């Protein structure tokens, strides 16, 4: 395993569209293992392959030590809305509000090519949407918004 260098948002590479994974082989497993080690080292909620310089449609999340891998993910259902402050390991700018669905269902493959479906909500849904955007060259800074008044009122409670 190895810690890989994270591509900053100032590098145009981060804007490239990632390509579907075709081989669920040792090269993919090495990549995913390295991504876990990299994410552990920097401490974050998620990391996509493009962020370590590989244009493969794959990302990992680590939320309160719930670690998951998503290969060739596809968000198939969303509902509700939420506004949370997001940051990104590639973006050295302040966290800011982004509008996301509150609930997300994602279809993906594990590292061995087995398909699965995962439904989640709240912060996990935010992370899935954020990482999935990376695979299409989209960053949270493209989506910063002013949250409705009820969001700040809720946070102050
Ligand atoms: Ni990010």
Q: In the chain, where are the structural domains located?
A: 12-156
Vertex 112 angle, CA 110 and 117, to 5°? 25
Q: Ligand 1 centroid vs 154 CA: distance in angstroms?
A: 25
Q: Ligand 1 centroid vs 134 CA: distance in angstroms?
A: 7
Nearest to 104 by CA among 85, 86, 143, 131: 131
Select which of 5, 26, 69, 131 is catalytic: 131
Residues of the chain where predicted confidence (pLDDT) is lower than 50:
none
Q: Quote the pTM value.
A: 0.96
**100 has which bridge partners?**
82
Largest CA distance in the chain: 49
Q: Ligand 1 centroid vs 78 CA: distance in angstroms?
A: 20
Q: What is the pLDDT of residue 43?
A: 85
Q: Ligand 1 centroid vs 141 CA: distance in angstroms?
A: 10
Q: What is the pLDDT of residue 1?
A: 77
Q: Which listed CATH number (3.40.50.300, 3.40.630.10, 3.40.50.970, 3.90.45.10) goes with 12-156?
A: 3.90.45.10
List, as ranges, residues with CB under 5 A of the ion ligand 1: 88
- In the structure encoding, which two tokens stand for residue 92, read together? 């050295």
User: Is there a catalytic annotation at residue 86?
Assistant: no
Q: Ligand 1 centroid vs 17 CA: distance in angstroms?
A: 14
Q: What is the pLDDT of residue 94?
A: 93
Q: What is the pLDDT of residue 142?
A: 97
């Amino acid at each position: 395993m190895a810690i890989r260098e994270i591509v900053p948002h100032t590098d145009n590479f981060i804007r490239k569209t990632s390509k579907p994974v075709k081989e669920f082989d040792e090269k993919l497993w090495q990549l995913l293992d390295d991504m876990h080690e990299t994410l552990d080292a920097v401490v974050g909620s998620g990391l996509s392959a493009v962020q370590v310089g590989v244009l493969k449609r794959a990302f990992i999340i680590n939320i309160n030590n719930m670690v998951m891998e998503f290969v060739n993910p596809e968000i198939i259902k969303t509902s509700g809305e939420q506004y949370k402050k997001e940051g990104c390991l590639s973006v050295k700018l302040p966290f800011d509000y982004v509008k996301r669905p509150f609930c997300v269902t994602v279809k993906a493959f594990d590292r061995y090519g087995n398909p699965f479906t995962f439904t989640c909500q709240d912060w996990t849904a935010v992370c899935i949407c954020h990482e999935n955007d990376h695979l299409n060259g989209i960053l949270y800074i493209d989506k910063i918004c002013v949250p409705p008044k009820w969001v700040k009122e809720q946070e102050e409670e």
